[in-house]
Amino acid sequence: MIHPLPTPVQYLGEDGSVRPGVTLPGTPDDWYALWHTMLLVREYDRKLVTLLRQGRTTFYAQAAGMEATQVGIGRALRPGHDWVWGYYRDQGIALTMGARLQDLAAQMLGSNSDPNRGRQMPHHYGSAQINFVSASSSIANQVPPATGTALAQKMLGTDEVTVCTFGDGATSEGDWHAGLNMAGVQQVPCVFVCENNQWAISTPLSRQTASDGIVAKAAGYGMPGVQVDGNDVLAVWAVVQEAVDRARRGGGPTLVEALTYRMGAHSNADADAEKTYRSREEVQHWQARDPLVRFERFLERQGHSISAAQRSEAVASLHRQIDEAIQEAENSGQPDWRSMFEDVYADMPVHLRRQYQQLRLEQEAGQS
């Protein structure tokens, strides 16, 4: 079954043309930066699938096809100032906000250079530098704390904004409803963005909700709702930017539904997605609506076309950067076993001291 786009906010046609009456955000330099970051997300995705198949990491969730949504969201935020409570597929938001490839690779490998010290499962990146909270594997449990973060921002009188992202599957969870309900009651500065990629693992959107899209639920929680073409990076940027600005001015929360599609599997847990629950016809339908290709057509129409040689050179450069980041992460080795006892308690409790001594004796015995 092919799920067609309804009539969301759209700035660019599928041929790259600009919709009548639209005022485009950004400058040609901004547009090139958007394209380059989308290309980085796409190539990073390809490299990580390879890394997974080589057995060098154990979990990865692809973002191919969702680059426009994620890069558009990230572009609307102030890195290191605003906060993101995302989900595990949000590498595109992190990269747009300035995440280092070295840190992403180190987290994927749980290596010694991982800022999270190898304490999360792969592909659950987090960064204190850019206020990007480490994702959880549990679905929708980031929504209540995102509302709490935004409530704290309101009470403290900061002009920070929280963005909370999730897939369409999260909207069936109790945490999602609790978080949005409180956000509406408290009118917190939070923008909730549903990255609606049409499938909650193997469950189609039609089995997730009987409402007319996720955005229809916004009214029930007392907040505006906007549905946007998630394969149109300029429309996503503009819609999220408007919601962020409104929240920053004290206007309360917004629910944004970005309609997009994941071209690959949900994760390596269902790598055979095209044969098990999606038809090849459906995947091909959305591949023909590739957000990266659409944006390249737009650039060409604006007189900033990217030649095949320029694209190949950019891809080769990105591959080198990604390979170097992975190599650097692998060269840093594994975290020292002692590090698992650090950072939690100022004074280590007695039972942990016993465990520490036991492990120390085992390590010394193994080395002797």
Q: According to the model, what pLDDT value does residue 150 have?
A: 98
Mean pLDDT score, 86-98: 95
CA-nearest of 339, 341, 338, 340 to 362 is 338
- How far CA 93 is from CA of 34, 171, 221, in Å, comes to 12, 20, 26
Q: At what angle do helices 28-53 and 308-331 cross, to 10 degrees?
A: 50
Residue 268 banded pLDDT, cuts 50, 70, 90: confident
For 232, residues 6+ apart whose C-beta sits below 8 A from its C-beta are 10, 11, 12, 68, 72, 291, 294
Q: pLDDT tens digits, residue range 238-262? A: 999 999 999 999 999 999 999 999 9
Q: Which of 32-41, 115-124, 172-181, 308-317 has the lowest mean pLDDT?
A: 115-124
Catalytic member of 117, 123, 266, 294 = 266
- Is the pLDDT at 88 greater than 80? The verdict is yes
Does pLDDT of 5 surpass 50?
no
Catalytic residue (one of 56, 78, 100, 277): 277
The pLDDT value given to residue 267: 85
Query: How many CB atoms are located within 10 Å of the residue 275 CB?
Result: 9
pLDDT average, residue stretch 315-336 = 96
pLDDT at 158: 96
For residues 162-188, give the mean pLDDT: 97
In degrees to the nearest 10, what's the CA dihedral of 250, 255, 260, 262?
100
CA 138, chain centre distance (Å): 15
Q: Taking all residues of the chain, what is their mean pLDDT, rounded to a whole number?
A: 94
Reading the block at residue 42, the tokens are 């796409």
Please write the tens of the pLDDT for every residue from 153-165.
Answer: 999 999 999 999 9
117 vs 156, more confident: 156
| Annotation marks residue 266 as catalytic | yes
**pLDDT at position 344:** 85
Residue 262 annotated to the active site: yes
Structure confidence by residue, pLDDT tens digits, 122-147: 999 999 999 999 998 899 999 999 99
Q: Say yes or no to pLDDT of 62 above 50.
A: yes
pLDDT in tens, 338-356: 998 988 899 999 999 999 9
The one catalytic residue in 124, 262, 278, 294 is 262
Question: Contacts from 275-278 at CB under 8 Å and sequence distance 24+?
Answer: 276/202, 277/199, 277/202, 278/199
**6-54 residue pLDDT tens:** 579 999 999 999 999 999 999 999 999 999 999 999 999 999 999 999 9
Mean pLDDT value across residues 307-322? 97
Is the pLDDT at 1 greater than 70? The verdict is no
Instruction: List CB contacts of 220: < 8 A, sequence separation 6 or more.
Output: none
Contact present, 215 and 281 (Cβ < 8 Å): no
Q: Check whether 4 has a pLDDT greater than 70.
A: no
pTM: 0.94
Q: Tell me what pLDDT residue 265 has.
A: 87
Collect all residues with Cβ–Cβ distance below 8 Å to 95 and sequence separation of at least 6: 37, 40, 41, 44, 71, 74, 101, 104
Region for residue 150 given its phi and psi (left: phi exceeds 0; alpha: psi -120 to 50; beta: otherwise):
alpha
Q: What is the pLDDT of residue 169?
A: 94
Q: What is the 3-state secondary structure (H, E, C) of the chain?
A: CCCCCCCCECCECCCCCECCCCCCCCCHHHHHHHHHHHHHHHHHHHHHHHHHHCCCCCCCCCCCCCHHHHHHHHHCCCCCCCEEECCCCCHHHHHHCCCCHHHHHHHHHCCCCCCCCCCCCCCCCCECCCCEECCCCCCCCCHHHHHHHHHHHHHHCCCCCEEEEEEHHHHHCHHHHHHHHHHHHHCCCEEEEEEECCEECCEEHHHCCCCCCHHHHHHHHCCCEEEEECCCHHHHHHHHHHHHHHHHCCCCCEEEEEECCCCCCCCHHHCCHHHHCCCHHHHHHHHCCCHHHHHHHHHHHCCCCCCHHHHHHHHHHHHHHHHHHHHHHHHCCCCCHHHHHCCCCCCCCHHHHHHHHHHHHHHHHHHC
Strand partners, 330: none
Give residue 242's pLDDT. 98
pLDDT of residue 273: 60
pLDDT for the residue 271 = 65
Whether 106 contacts 333, CB under 8 Å: no
CA 33, CA 46: separation in Å to the nearest integer?
20
- Determine the average pLDDT of the residues in 284-297: 95
pLDDT band for position 368 (50/70/90)? low
Split at pLDDT 50, 70, 90, the class of 269 is confident
- Take residue 26 and report the two structure tokens written for it: 């950004």
Cα separations in angstroms, 141 against 73, 85, 135, 175: 20, 10, 9, 6
